[in-house]
Chain A
Amino acid sequence: MKKSELLSLNLLEASELLNKKEISSKELTTAYLENIEENDCKIGAYITVTSDLALQTAEKIDTMRVNGENLSPLAGIPFSVKDNICTKGIKTTCASEFLRDFTPVYDAHVIERLKNFGAVMLGKTNMDEFGMGSSNENSAFHITKNPRDFERVAGGSSGGSAASVAGKEALFSLGSDTGGSIRLPSSFCGAVGMKPTYGAVSRYGLVAFASSFDQIGVISRNAADNAAILDVISGWDCRDSTSSKQSLNLSCDITAEKLKIGIVREFFADGIDEDVLNCIQNAIEFYKKCGASIDYVSLPSIKSALWAYYIISSAEASSNLARFDGVRYGRRDENYSSIEELYKNSRTNGFGEEVKRRIMTGTFALSAGYYENYYKKAQRIREKIKSEFEEIFKKCDVIISPVCPTTAFKIGEYRDNPEQMYLSDIYTVPANLAGLPAISVPFGTDRDNLPVGIQLIGRPFGEAVLYKSASFLEKEACGDDI
């Protein structure tokens, strides 16, 4: 099989061919490694490529297959991992100067799972430092470019993961989503990205940004692949006390005509790009045409959602990132004459601007005298948003919305305007505040032929309905070059 053909296979296709021994994992892995070698200098999806290890694993899986061992559908499938998910013996930098040379001593839960299932890790992908950003411009190492247009950002913070999938540098990727970090880059790059229900996937081994929001999820070519991978990585883990014992049932036979779709009025206020609006309207029309019922619903607290998200996530980040003090691991500044100076210089020089901005915001929000008006107030808003969603889901199965008001913007466009950048997360943040599953699925393109992502938000543990709803859109959009 030709290299381009190999790279075009989706998970289920590749899995079938591997199973029939029509292709080998070594062939498939080599095709991906060659493509990385050839194109990643332009895209910059990866921070670390683990070629040798990938080939070793692929060969091992091939041998097992030849020996007739019973293998999972993921066995021999090449994937990439966001660089904030710990991998034993392989550098995990969080795209931070501080962790430039940090090598974890253990595997994250999701890595253990994928290893056990025989998936082949190609390397670790670029991101905004510690997950803080929407464009991958906050990586301490390099900017990941959008495979559709190298002048544009891949989105963030899992930009490297989305770009690796869209650029055919991995068959799927693991990302993490705190306020939209899986869905936004998936939307910008034209991939399918799922942020599962909070607690559906163990966070053990995910370097924490904001613990009560962070969730590991999958970026893939299509919804069916995505579901197959989530099925493997989800489930209760005794090492994460916030992981849920409720297991995900990812099969569902709901038909499009039975779907009850909610449109949040407040989501369609101002600021949405015309082409994005068009795509979403087309999607709504499509669902209507299929016989789905469409309902206008209201999420009144949404206007404070972004503010609440930034307060709580920054507060948690200020505490989570305090351990990076230069004492035990990571970067220790050479210049210090006291422990205070060691902390100060290591952190000042080890963290990027955005990370420092969030640490300061979060420290402020938790400080005596401000806690009530910031952190506490933000938590109340969060509770309100949760209950408003609950109300909506009494009558709707899914909420449809854009992923982002715009398509991928130009590199540098928002560099000096962090607030504008924060607005990119306006549609994605509510699902994180409420812990709900949400998927980004490509549907149409804008005037520059850049992909537009549609977001579908579901009930807690309602991933199956989201995958199914997304697959209807995929079928409709089949003419597009996905």
Chain B
Amino acid sequence: MTYKGYELTVGLEVHVELKTETKIFCSCKTEFGADPNTQCCPVCMGMPGTLPVLNKKAVEYAVKAGLALNCNIAHISKFDRKNYFYPDLPKAYQISQFDMPLCENGFIDISYETDKKGVFASKKIRITRIHLEEDAGKLIHTDEGTLIDCNRCGVPLIEIVSEPDIKSSEEAKAYLKALRSVILYTGISDCKMNEGSMRCDVNLSVSRVGDNKLGARTEIKNINSVNFVAKAIDYEFKRQVDTIESGEKIVTETRRFDPDIGKTFAMRSKETAGDYRYFPEPDLPPILLSDDYINSVKAEIPELPAKRIKRYCDDFGLTDYDAGLLTESRIIADEFEETAKLTKYPKIAANLIIGELMKLTEEGESLPVSSEKIASVAQMCGDEQINSSTAKKLLKMIIDGDSRYPEEIVKCDNLQQINDTEQIRILIKQAVENNPKAVNDYLRGKANAKKILVGYVMGKTSGLANPKIVDTEIENFIKTLID
């Protein structure tokens, strides 16, 4: 992506809330959406005299994330205090990791559709580090004043820091999607950006094309949707270039993105502490992890999307793109695999899932039709017992509440495909007689005019005619007219 001879460089810091049952340093619940201040205790409220006790599950989840993202896992790491005053931070320091993070030097492969439709690019984005820390509370601003909800205080977070390898908003989107997908596979977070369980900070700087020296960078904090991240990057890129071109300098600063107007704004300097005075957390001993432990966590990681995509292409003949879509959610990928086992036509099943069913599911949901039924529809379709529009119709009937088996519906409702060439020829003859204009148009080169003839035949057969035969026979018939 270039603009007025400049290119951009982006590094992302992604915060992901871990789906542990209890908080990172106390035994309060982490469930989202509870009434304010009903999930807190003296420890997470930072009452005097309380001490943190590390939740082992949080370490396990963070290690899992690190392994899934190809990181080295530190055998020794430690916690540090990040000191700053803010009303949502009860202890006035966040327990985080500074110079000895849990995971380092990882990467993730991304792929995305380029400007040219159907052309895909892929790239490796390096991950600098992943560290474990606690979340802060939430401020709720009302007319009468600001309220504090401490339910989120102490929810475990990992911060995933990428190298500045991202060169466009498209890459940033692809990176976030890939990251999200991998994390969902490991099951350590639900990554719901709208609920704040996944949040993103963007670090962006620009340079003249070909110039390796990066300019001053700005940080755009706390963006909570993938599309907003892309918009913020596009806006900030142009803003920095325009600022430089007008002779001004880029100030290293923290900015926020306003999604309503699509612009970024400098935050007041008061909202951004400069010096966090990190020092080792004296209340917690270092985290020591053995190879055995790391290997046991590794063993729990399921097959990840990148590997599945390759397998789907190799085994089922799917395109990279389709395989990518199917593997975005582990639940759907698992259902697809279940379906693929039950039919000889996994590719048809894949098309049905991608084209008809996935669009009806929300994040993290399963498909609205069981694997068994999808497989049976795909099977009939592949065996030419039904045509593809019937297949779609069947799925729709099932979604709308028809509880019969697909074979039964086809049988009872007479939805079998008409493969009788003679019968189809008769109908084509009628179609030509009734639509002389369409025939003339077609002969004069209007390819679209054929659709009218096809539509006639389909209409007469309630959509059950074999579309391949219809097409071939129309071609044959028209050839006879020319001859």
Residues of chain A whose beta carbon lies under 8 Å from any beta carbon of chain B: 85-86, 92, 94, 99, 102, 104-106, 108, 203-208, 210-212, 238-242, 315-316, 318-319, 322-325, 327-329, 339-340, 343, 363, 366-368, 371, 375
Contacts and interface: CB of A to CB of B under 8 A. Distances in A.
B92 interface: yes
Given A212-B282, A343-B85, A367-B275, A108 B42 contact: no
B53 A238 contact: yes
A239 B51 contact: yes
Contact of A108 (B49, B85, B90, B93): B49
B49 A208 contact: yes
A366 B277 contact: yes
Given A106-B42, A211-B282, A325 B275 contact: no
B45 interface: yes
B129 interface: no
A323 B46 contact: yes
Given A241-B283, A343-B85, A363-B277, A319 B51 contact: no
B45 A328 contact: yes
Interface string B80-101: 0101010100111100000000
B38 to A, nearest CB: 15
Contacts of A242: 51, 282-285
B148 interface: yes
Nearest to A107: B49
25 contacts: A86-B48, A104-B48, A106-B47, A203-B49, A203-B51, A204-B50, A211-B282, A239-B53, A240-B51, A241-B51, A241-B53, A241-B283, A242-B51, A242-B285, A318-B83, A322-B83, A325-B85, A325-B92, A327-B87, A327-B90, A328-B45, A328-B148, A366-B83, A366-B277, A366-B278
Nearest to B150: A328
Contacts of A325: 85, 87, 92
B277 A319 contact: yes
B180 to A, nearest CB: 33
Contacts of A329: 47
A206 B87 CA distance: 24
Contacts of A340: 270
A323 B48 contact: yes
Given A319-B279, A323-B92, A328-B90, 18 more contacts: A99-B48, A105-B47, A205-B49, A208-B283, A212-B282, A238-B53, A240-B53, A241-B283, A242-B51, A242-B282, A242-B284, A319-B81, A319-B83, A319-B93, A328-B45, A339-B87, A366-B278, A366-B279
Contact of A241 (B54, B91, B148): B54
A92 B282 CA distance: 23
A474 to B, nearest CB: 33
B262 interface: no
B52 interface: yes
Contact of B49 (A207, A241, A316): A207
A216 to B, nearest CB: 11
Contacts of A99: 48
A319 B280 CA distance: 11
Q: Nearest 8 CB-CB pairs, A to B? A: A322-B92, A366-B277, A212-B282, A211-B282, A207-B48, A205-B49, A86-B49, A368-B275
B52 to A, nearest CB: 7
Between B83, B277, B284, the greatest number of chain A beta carbons within 10 A of the residue's beta carbon is seen for B277
Contacts of B45: 328
Contacts of A211: 282-283
A329 B42 CA distance: 12
Interface residues of B, number: 29
B46 A204 contact: no
B279 to A, nearest CB: 6
A323 B279 contact: no
A337 B278 CA distance: 29
A102 B42 CA distance: 14
B153 to A, nearest CB: 11
Nearest to B92: A322
Contacts of B270: 340
Contacts of A104: 42, 47-49
A316 B54 contact: no
Nearest to A202: B51
A105 B47 CA distance: 9
B395 to A, nearest CB: 54
A241 B42 contact: no
A134 to B, nearest CB: 22
A457 B148 CA distance: 47
Contacts of A86: 48-49
Nearest to B270: A340
Nearest to B25: A241
A102 B48 contact: yes
Given A92-B48, A204-B51, A205-B49, A323 B90 contact: yes
A316 B282 contact: yes
A340 to B, nearest CB: 7
Interface string B272-310: 000101110011110000000000000000000000000
A279 to B, nearest CB: 35
Nearest to A339: B87
A85 B49 CA distance: 8
A437 B452 CA distance: 96
B450 to A, nearest CB: 72
A305 B270 CA distance: 38
B65 to A, nearest CB: 23
Given A239-B53, A242-B283, A367-B275, A323 B91 contact: yes
Most buried by A among B51, B93, B278, B283: B51
A280 B43 CA distance: 45
A377 to B, nearest CB: 13
A328 B285 CA distance: 28
Contacts of B47: 104-106, 329
B167 to A, nearest CB: 31
Contacts of B279: 315-316, 319, 366, 371, 375
Contacts of A102: 48
B49 A206 contact: yes
Contacts of A318: 83, 277
Contacts of B284: 241-242
A423 B23 CA distance: 43
Contacts of B48: 86, 92, 94, 99, 102, 104, 207-208, 323-324
Contacts of B282: 210-212, 242, 316
B265 to A, nearest CB: 20
A86 B260 CA distance: 49
A339 B88 CA distance: 12
A315 B93 CA distance: 13
A358 B270 CA distance: 24
Contact of B285 (A205, A241, A324): A241
Contacts of A316: 279, 282
A371 B83 CA distance: 14
Contacts of A108: 49
Contacts of A241: 51-54, 283-285
Contacts of A240: 51, 53
Interface in B45-79: 45-54
B51 to A, nearest CB: 5
Contacts of A315: 279
Interface in B454-481: none
Contacts of A92: 48-49
A240 B277 CA distance: 24
A379 B54 CA distance: 24
A454 B289 CA distance: 44
Contacts of A327: 87, 90, 148
B283 A322 contact: no
A322 B85 contact: yes
A318 B282 CA distance: 13
Nearest to B283: A211
A206 B49 CA distance: 5
Contacts of A366: 83, 277-279
A324 B49 CA distance: 12
A197 to B, nearest CB: 15
